[in-house]
Amino acid sequence: MKNIHYRGRFAPSPSGALHFGSLVAALGSFLRARHCQGLWLVRIEDIDPPREVHGAADDILRTLEAFGLHWDQQVIYQSQRHHDYQDQIADWLAHQQAYYCQCSRQQIRSRGGIYNGHCRQQQLDSGAIRWVNNQGCDHFIDQLQGPIHTDAAFAKEDFIIRRSDGFYAYQLAVVMDDIAAGITEVVRGADLLEATVRQISLFNALNAAVPDWLHLPLACQGPGSKLSKQNHATPVDKSHPQPALNAALAFLGQPQVEPCGEVALMIHQAIAQFDLESIPKQKEILLPQ
Ligand code: GLU
Ligand code: ZN
């Protein structure tokens, strides 16, 4: 029987094919959800058209299937959720909980780098939209990394929820989507560890239950340099998933699975063997060159 209380998700941006680093995030969140007998949902974070690669979303979904990572329910696309984001922003604008800002990056840098609320009282009617961040949550407990504290000024910043080019900001979309999907635990890469405090502030402002957080180590090519679509990490091989699957399991400190030619059996074994305690409590792990 499924534990309907646990709802996890994988939320890739369609900016390129699934590479080893994103496979680790997909596999880690999948194994955790399945080991808890919960649901595992997939959301395509296609809110940033300039960074989108044509065909990448479908390619990512086909790759998940090839690795035996089958999701529950319908895939959600952020590009189809604009109305909800816009309604929330309109509501905040009407209640002075959000405001337009026309400060340039350079102006913000010259005032110390963290946005100081400069445009809060300006009554502008165009530009980027910032959220009045009265919450300023600056700490949380991560299920893997332990207590996390961020810089208080960063945590309190009125961050952008809609960009000046009209696109919605990741921070807003991710929180509204996790609320809509009833996500109980977010399992993802440790590159989003800091951003989590802002997301918690949004969950609180929206009167929603804050999920648990579990940030997996990032696969890095060198210190501070994560594998990413931007630095052209090699896509994983859909036609021959077993080597990458075992490499991702090893990365997560999990035992290997028998190479049996049948990906469903290998995944089944990986779920049964999954042990949260064995995942390295590190923010990044350097890959052998
Ligand atoms: N779409 C984000 C990324 O690919 C992940 C967002 C998340 O898991 O919260 O980096
Ligand atoms: Zn401003």
Nearest ligand 1 atom to the CA of 12 is 4
- Centroid of ligand 1 to alpha carbon of 122 (angstroms): 33
Q: Give residue 113's region: left, alpha or beta (phi > 0; psi -120 to 50).
A: left
Are domains 7-80+182-286 and 82-162 of this chain identical in fold? yes
Residues 91-133: tens digit of each pLDDT: 999 999 999 999 999 999 999 999 999 999 999 999 999 999 9
Assess whether the C-beta atom of 188 lies below 6 angstroms from ligand 1: yes
Tell me which residue of 107, 36, 20 sits closest to 287, measured CA to CA.
20
pLDDT, tens only, 59-97: 999 999 999 999 999 999 999 999 999 999 999 999 999
What is the pLDDT at residue 1? 52
Model confidence pLDDT, tens digit, residues 135-154: 899 999 999 999 999 999 99
Q: Give, for ligand 1, the residue of 32, 171, 175, 188 to mutate: max count of ligand atoms closer than 8 Å to Cβ.
A: 188
Bridge partners of residue 160, in order along the sequence: 130
Q: In this structure, are residues 171 and 202 in contact, taking their beta carbons and an 8 Å threshold?
A: yes
Query: Taking the complete model, does pTM exceed 0.75, yes or no?
Result: yes
Tell me which fold the domain 82-162 belongs to. Answer: Rossmann fold (3.40.50)
Nearest in space to 103 (alpha carbons), one of 160, 44, 188, 180: 160
Sign of CA dihedral 43, 12, 254, 67: positive
pLDDT (0 to 100) of residue 4: 67
Distance CA 236, CA 281 (A): 25
Q: How would residue 8 be classed by pLDDT, with cut points 50, 70 and 90?
A: very high
- The CB of 11 under 6 Å from ligand 1? The reply is yes
Cα distances (Å, whole numbers) of residue 200 to 16, 20, 235: 28, 28, 32
Question: 192 CB under 6 A from ligand 1?
Answer: yes
The domain covering 7-80+182-286 belongs, at the CATH homologous superfamily level, to HUPs (3.40.50.620)
For residue 181 and ligand 1, the question of a CB distance below 6 A is answered with no
Distance CA 70, CA 161 (A): 32
3-state secondary structure of 262: coil
Q: Where do the structural domains in the chain lie, given as residue ranges? A: 7-80+182-286, 82-162
The label of the residue with tokens 């979303």 reads: 57
Decide: 12 in ligand 1 pocket, CB within 6 A.
yes
